Amino acid sequence: MVNWATRPLRTGIKRYGYPRYFFTNKSPDIRRLFTDTLDTLGVEWKQANAWNISVARQASVALMDEHVGPKH
């Protein structure tokens, strides 16, 4: 998905988007397999909520693109 954000500037508000990966699964075991694999690959991730894992840092998204393929 593309995450949209805003930043206040002196000239007004700037809106920008950046790519981000989400993985959703209700099973803690499946999420753990996923996050362990991300750790092995050096991909930084965060637990977005109870069921979602988020990969949003630019370098980590680039690694995901390398291993999974770029998002369209």
- How does pLDDT run across 30-60, given as a tens digit for each residue? 999 999 999 999 999 999 999 999 999 999 9
Q: Please state, in angstroms and rounded to a whole number, the distance separating the CA atoms of residues 44 and 61.
A: 9
Q: Please name the residue that has the structure tokens 């996050």.
A: 35
**Among candidate residues 68, 65, 34, the one with its CA nearest the CA of residue 48:** 34
Distance CA(11)–CA(25), nearest Å, equals: 42
The whole-number pLDDT of residue 18 equals 81
Cβ proximity of 49 and 22 under 8 Å: no
User: What is the amino acid identity at position 65?
Assistant: D
18/47 Cα distance (integer angstroms)? 18
